[in-house]
Amino acid sequence: EKEFVRLEEELMSSSNGNLSAEELNELFRKTHQCRTAEMPKILGDAYANAGTVWWGLDAISEYIAKPPPSEAKRMPSSLILRGEHDFVNEASVEGWKGAFNTPFLRYKTLEGCSHHGLFENGQAYGEILDSYFAEYD
């Protein structure tokens, strides 16, 4: 939540505070959520039909990823993938790395992309996944 507020304040400041709430939401979307001119219909539909339990900042504001118990089975190889301009920042990813009890954890950043990089650069997104899966094929 702190990162979201920081990012919104940064956007508002860069626009000299001259944005309506609707304009700020759209600028946030185009900067940190999905950097396409228009929200892809399928993504807009997904957000429109999202449930209520895991919705909004309050849903996970106090959540801290923790490693599984020491007796837990080792997790399979895992990939953490985020966009360069993602609202999920580096510090957040660092916190999540400790929750994976596998020595085979890959971390990649999609350059020039935000949270939904698949819609922004499908080629690079696919290449990262292909490379990851090829390691275990």
Residue-wise pLDDT for 65-85, tens only, equals 788 888 989 889 999 999 999
Question: Do 116 and 63 form a contact (C-beta atoms < 8 A)?
Answer: no
On average, the pLDDT of the chain sits at 89
Does residue 10 surpass a pLDDT of 90? yes
Q: Residue 22 in 3-state DSSP?
A: helix
Token pair recorded at residue 25: 């939401």
Mean pLDDT for 112-122 is: 97
Q: Name the residue with higher pLDDT: 136 or 124.
A: 124
